[in-house]
Structure 1
Amino acid sequence: MQVVIPAAGMGNRLGNHTKDKTKCMVKVHDITLIERSLEILSKYDIKRFVIVVGYHKDKLTEFLGDNYNGIEIVYVENNIYDKTNNIYSIYLAKDYLVEDDTILLESDLIYEPQIIENLISNQYPNVAVVDKYQPWMDGTVVELDNSFDIVNFVSKKDFNFAKTDEYYKTVNIYKFSQEFLKKTYVPFLEAYSSALGDNEYYEQVLRIITLLETQELKALPLQGEKWYEIDDIQDLDNAEVIFSSKEQKLKLLSQRFGGYWRYEDIKDFCYLVNPYFPNDTFVGEMKHSFDTLLREYPSGANVQALLASKMFNCDQSQIVVGNGAAELIDALSTEIDCKLGLFLPTFEEYSARFKNVHLEKITNKNYSYTIEDIKRLAEKVDGVLLINPDNPSGNFIKYDDLLELIHWFKKENKKLIVDESFVDFAVNGIESTLLSEDTLNLYSGLIVIKSISKSYGVPGIRLGVLASSNTTLISRIKKKIPVWNINSLGEFFFQIIGKYQKVYNSGCKSIINERNAFYQQLEQVPFLRPIESQANYILCEVIGKNSEELVSELCQKFSILAKDCSKKQGFEDNSNYIRLAVRNSADNQYLIDCLKEI
């Protein structure tokens, strides 16, 4: 058996990475793509490597030499690589193709060795490795029948997003028999190239062959084996994460701050969202209007405020909409010049943005506090920043106590800033919101912030609100943010959310039930001490283990992301705490099973 690798292309989309070398010489974790492939393939009974070279061919041939691990390397030159596509490179290698059974693969792939093992051991002589289509994938897709015959190669112009569940992406790794190459593929290759020219792709020939009734080409669907095709700098960045060592994986993922949909194996117990909303009907309505929303400008800030005021039962002049709560926190920090108190540990966006903050460390092991603690903190400062429920502890101040605090702060003439991003997940939490005209009117020194992204499960839209009866403050904040800080998807969310409020309320009750069950399961893990929470996360003390090592092990072994709190501001030295998001029942059970295995 031989291996044929087209490697003549310029790889322009990789920018500076391919300015002075061909694409297969790009490194992922200090190893070039071509070395990875040859190392994997050389473990098998391979007679020779046939590499089609073009762009920077001298560098590649010098780099590889005339053999790899004792296996001969033959070079085929494509001197018009800048005017042709890969069909021409394969055409140039056609005389070699007909001489032996062949593995054909692209030079810009990174993949797990098991893929080659499964391909070579597969009983069928002509096989294409395929994977279930995912949104990040680009290029040729195929359709299969129940016998794993490839019945159609789907071109880009024929791609139908309504059929993506039926599509498989070609991994661009193939096994062909000498007989198939000699009698079918190469003759069709020659005819196709003669008729349509050199600026085509070799998969087009396979597409024509599938129209025959011989059904010579079988598919080998992957079963979770990792691979990635590196066409541009984003692909390279993603590949660095997917093929990172166990020691590197957590660090690389943590530095991304999201975007984990690119890694389908990741279970994210770190970032906090609502697993029970939006429901399918809500998503369907968003999809139905997506084309219009994508192409049209959103309304300005005043209309956004009007829509938000309808949602939260307050006056339009009392509320401002932000591109996530983070934008509003930043804008508010420039408007508040008094000294504010903040309990630690907590959500660190506030201590990072507000410059004049007194940090009060909580010393009990549950990191809990009461309204009396809040009043004592307020006596030291001009106002208090209160996250309710707090993050990461889940500590909650009930609505009646909040009303008492509002009257107390009004009497003391001190500001009270309440972030209630997680309040809907508390018992009776939806009734505990301060976002209403009547409550806001109790005191102009009350400022309420809410992240819609977190509570309503739409972090991709990026929505948050800030409200106060101090309309002068609201007006100043509106002037600080762009008139189009919210996109049309966000505006449409406000427009339709009223129809789904009952569904949302039911989803919040589901989270409460799931949190209670999750808490009880965590209590059964011998090295964890979970702390009762009124949010959609649970803070756990790690006992007899190192929290940083535990989070790393969860990531390395099970692709679970969890939050290590040990280095978070406010935790005692040598403390070991992790925070776990509450997800749906299946995901939570998976985490519990992994913890038990540890």
Structure 2
Amino acid sequence: MQAIILAAGMGKRLKQLTQNNTKCMVKVNGIPMINRTLSQLDRLSLSRIVIVVGYEGEKLTGHIRTLDVKTPVVFVENPIYNKTNNIYSLFLAKDYLLKEDTLLLESDVIFQDSVLDCLMEDPRDSLALVAKYEAWMDGTCVRLSEQDDIIDMISKKQFRFSEIEDYYKTVNLYKFSREFSRTHYVPFLEAYTKALGNNEYYEQVLKVLVALDDPGIKAKRLSPDQKWYEIDDIQDLDIAESMFAPENERTALIQRRYGGYWRYPGMLDFCYLVNSYYPPKKMMDEIRSNFDVLVRQYPSGMYVNSLLAARNFALRQDQILVGNGAAELIKALIEQTQGRLGVVRPTFEEYSNRYDPDKTEAYYPDNDNFSYTADELTTFFEDKDIRCLALVNPDNPSGNYIPKADMLRLVQWTGERGIHFIADESFVDFADEENASLLDEELLDENPHLTVVKSISKSYGIPGLRLGIAASADTARIQELKKSVSIWNINSLGEFYMQIEEKYRKDYTDALVKVKAERNRFSALLSAVDGIRVIPSQADYLMIELTGGHTAGAVTQQLLLRYNCLVKDLSSKVKLKNRQFLRIAVRSQEDDDILAEALKELLSAPIHS
């Protein structure tokens, strides 16, 4: 068995990284891709490694000769790399294909050892490695039979997003037997290049072969836990670095992205908070059916979107504005704030992080559950001379909930003292109490010092649309907020969602029932795990304490590395006598069971110092 690596390309999409450097010498976590690939191949006891070079070929060959590679390495030069595609590079190496069985690789693919191992260990002699299609993938796809026959190879022109459930993406790693190369691949490679030229891709030959009665090659399906990534641009490079970083660095690299986890195959995100039971399929189908129009048209301005939000929350247009997520509105609100700001900790830090810490007064609950009442808040802030009180209810991360009657007492108390009261009820719909919201036209009119903030993204399960609202009867405040955000601060998809939202009210009510039921079930499930104490919550997440000696950082890391589950490590938010806390989102029953079982396994293992 030998290997052929195609490494002649220019890698233009990596821009400055390949201006004077071949693509496979670009470093991933400090190691050139070619170093990693050669090291992985070197352990397989191959007869040789053939590398087709072109762009910056002398630099690449010189670099490889400095490496400690035991397997003989030979080079084939593509002198017209800038005028051809990889079909010509493989054509130049065709004589090697005829000598023995071959692993064929592209030099810009990074992968785990197990990816190569599964090709080597499979008894079938000729295989195309494929992975289930994911949204981040680009390039040639295939359809497969149950017997792993390649039914069709789908080019970019033939690609249909409506059919992606049936697609697998080629990983650009292949195993060709010598016989397959002799009888099938090389003859068609020669014929194809002669007929259609050298500016094509070698997969086009496979596309011709799969149309034969006996194509001579099968597909090998990767499992979801076998990691690989194709690096074409700097975004790919950044993702690959987080996926293949050393274990002690990987979690931090992934967390710093603050979302976009759909790019990570199979990851279960228990960190970011979202309603897993809404929106319904019919609503998504309605948005999808209008997608072309929405993308190609400007959204309405703030006036119209305020009307839509006012209708949806039974308020007047002059009482409400829509934000690009609640975060945009929080920023604008805090920029208006003067004097001392009162907050509770631990809590959602967006309010206090945007304010002068020297002008912030924080109340810390003095109990194991981080719970507090309206009376405790008024007693604490009575003599603190705060000009604004920002309160998240239910709170994040504790899930502590103040009943509506007590929230109304806080509204009255702050009003009597001239305190601007910001009530963030992004999670209030998940509370057991019915009609808990302060979003009421008459209530706001009676209390112009009250501003209610709500994250539509979190409550309604649409974080990708980035929607939030702020409501107040202080029309001067609302107008000032509207001036501080862009006239087109939300896109057409977000506007359309608000336009159709009222048709799906019953679906939302049903979804809330499911979230609450799953929260109770999940809480009981976690409570039964040795080493976990679950803090009572009225939100769509649970704060848990690790009581068996495991650290939150280590558990977070192992959940990600071993189980592909991402949770929130609260070490930076809760610093309390070395006690260890995590925040875990409530997802579907299937996902929650996976995490509960993972935690059970992890926490039952010995603690390593």
Normalising by the smaller structure, the TM-score range is over 0.9
Distance 1:12 1:519, change over 3 A: same
Identical positions, percent: 48
CA contact (8 A) 1:66 1:72 kept: no
Task: Tell me the residue number matched to 2:376.
Answer: 373
Question: What amino acid sits opposite 1:443 in the alignment?
Answer: N
Kindly indicate whether residue 410 of structure 2 is the aligned counterpart of residue 409 of structure 1. no
CA contact (8 A) 1:551 1:562 kept: yes
Q: 1:590 aligns with which of 578, 591, 594?
A: 594
Question: What amino acid sits opposite 2:244 in the alignment?
Answer: F
Task: Tell me the residue number matched to 1:558.
Answer: 563
Kindly indicate whether residue 514 of structure 2 is the aligned counterpart of residue 514 of structure 1. no
Q: Which segment drifts farther, 314-323 or 38-47? A: 38-47
Provide, for residues 495-537 of structure 1, a one-character-per-residue CA deviation record: whole Å limited to 9, x for no partner.
0110111111111111111111111122212212111111111
Q: 1:361 aligns with which of 356, 361, 364?
A: 364
Task: Tell me the residue number matched to 2:607.
Answer: none
Task: Tell me the residue number matched to 1:311.
Answer: 312
Q: Which segment drifts farther, 464-473 or 349-358? A: 349-358
Q: Aligned ranges for residues 481-492 of structure 1 at < 5 Å?
A: 481-492=485-496
Provide, for residues 466-496 of structure 1, a one-character-per-residue CA deviation record: whole Å limited to 9, x for no partner.
0000011101110110000000011011001
Task: Compute the displacement of 1:405 (Å).
Answer: 2.4
Task: Tell me the residue number matched to 1:292.
Answer: 293
CA contact (8 A) 1:76 1:93 kept: yes
Mapped to 1, the partners of 2:222 and 2:554 lie a distance apart of 32
Task: Compute the displacement of 1:573 (Å).
Answer: 4.1
Kindly indicate whether residue 356 of structure 2 is the aligned counterpart of residue 351 of structure 1. no
Distance 1:373 1:301, change over 3 A: same
Task: Compute the displacement of 1:181 (Å).
Answer: 1.5
Question: What amino acid sits opposite 1:214 in the alignment?
Answer: D
Task: Compute the displacement of 1:541 (Å).
Answer: 2.0
Mapped to 1, the partners of 2:122 and 2:230 lie a distance apart of 23
Task: Compute the displacement of 1:16 (Å).
Answer: 1.9
CA contact (8 A) 2:51 2:75 kept: yes
CA contact (8 A) 1:152 1:210 kept: yes
Task: Compute the displacement of 1:67 (Å).
Answer: 8.6
TM normalised by structure 1 equals: 0.97
3-state SS of the aligned residue for 1:314?
coil
Task: Tell me the residue number matched to 1:122.
Answer: 122
TM normalised by structure 2 equals: 0.95
CA contact (8 A) 1:38 1:68 kept: no
Task: Compute the displacement of 1:277 (Å).
Answer: 0.6
Task: Compute the displacement of 1:550 (Å).
Answer: 2.4
Q: What is the RMSD computed on CA atoms of the aligned residues? A: 1.6
CA contact (8 A) 1:406 1:416 kept: yes
Matched residue count: 596
Q: Aligned ranges for residues 138-149 of structure 1 at < 5 Å?
A: 138-149=138-149
Q: Aligned ranges for residues 447-462 of structure 1 at < 5 Å?
A: 447-462=451-466
Provide, for residues 246-300 of structure 1, a one-character-per-residue CA deviation record: whole Å limited to 9, x for no partner.
2112111111111111112322111111111111111111111111111111000
3-state SS of the aligned residue for 1:71?
coil
Mapped to 2, the partners of 1:139 and 1:550 lie a distance apart of 37
Task: Compute the displacement of 1:42 (Å).
Answer: 2.2
CA contact (8 A) 1:42 1:68 kept: no
Question: What amino acid sits opposite 1:540 in the alignment?
Answer: I
Q: Aligned ranges for residues 5-404 of structure 1 at < 5 Å?
A: 5-65=5-65, 69-224=69-224, 225-355=226-356, 356-379=359-382, 380=384, 381-404=386-409
Task: Compute the displacement of 1:441 (Å).
Answer: 1.3
Mapped to 1, the partners of 2:424 and 2:180 lie a distance apart of 67
Mapped to 1, the partners of 2:177 and 2:564 lie a distance apart of 38
Mapped to 2, the partners of 1:352 and 1:195 lie a distance apart of 65
Provide, for residues 168-189 of structure 1, a one-character-per-residue CA deviation record: whole Å limited to 9, x for no partner.
1111111112222123222211
CA contact (8 A) 1:383 1:415 kept: yes
Provide, for residues 423-449 of structure 1, a one-character-per-residue CA deviation record: whole Å limited to 9, x for no partner.
0000125x1111121221121101100
Task: Compute the displacement of 1:322 (Å).
Answer: 0.5
Unpaired runs of 5+ residues, structure 1, are none
Mapped to 1, the partners of 2:273 and 2:88 lie a distance apart of 50
Mapped to 2, the partners of 1:18 and 1:233 lie a distance apart of 11
Unpaired runs of 5+ residues, structure 2, are 603-609
Distance 1:556 1:101, change over 3 A: closer
Task: Compute the displacement of 1:66 (Å).
Answer: 9.3
3-state SS of the aligned residue for 2:242?
helix
CA contact (8 A) 1:345 1:571 kept: no
Question: What amino acid sits opposite 2:30 in the alignment?
Answer: D
Distance 1:160 1:383, change over 3 A: closer
CA contact (8 A) 1:247 1:556 kept: no
CA contact (8 A) 2:14 2:234 kept: yes
CA contact (8 A) 2:337 2:388 kept: no
Q: Which segment drifts farther, 90-99 or 502-511? A: 90-99
